[in-house]
Amino acid sequence: MMTGQNIDSLIGGYRSLTGKAPIMPKWAYGFWQSKEHYNSQKRS
């Protein structure tokens, strides 16, 4: 069991046990587009 004074200390303890999480490179995220942002004026 891990304890801490606040959420930051809990996350810090978890990171010290599990190691740093790798961040994906930008190219790995791909193209993201939402259809909700492209309504015509007639549909709005």
Amino acid 6: pLDDT: 92
Q: State the CB neighbour count (10 A cutoff) for residue 18.
A: 8
Distance CA(26)–CA(32), nearest Å, equals 12
41 pLDDT band (50/70/90 cuts)? low
CB 10 within 8 A of CB 4: yes
pLDDT in tens, 2-38: 778 899 999 888 999 999 888 999 888 887 776 666 6
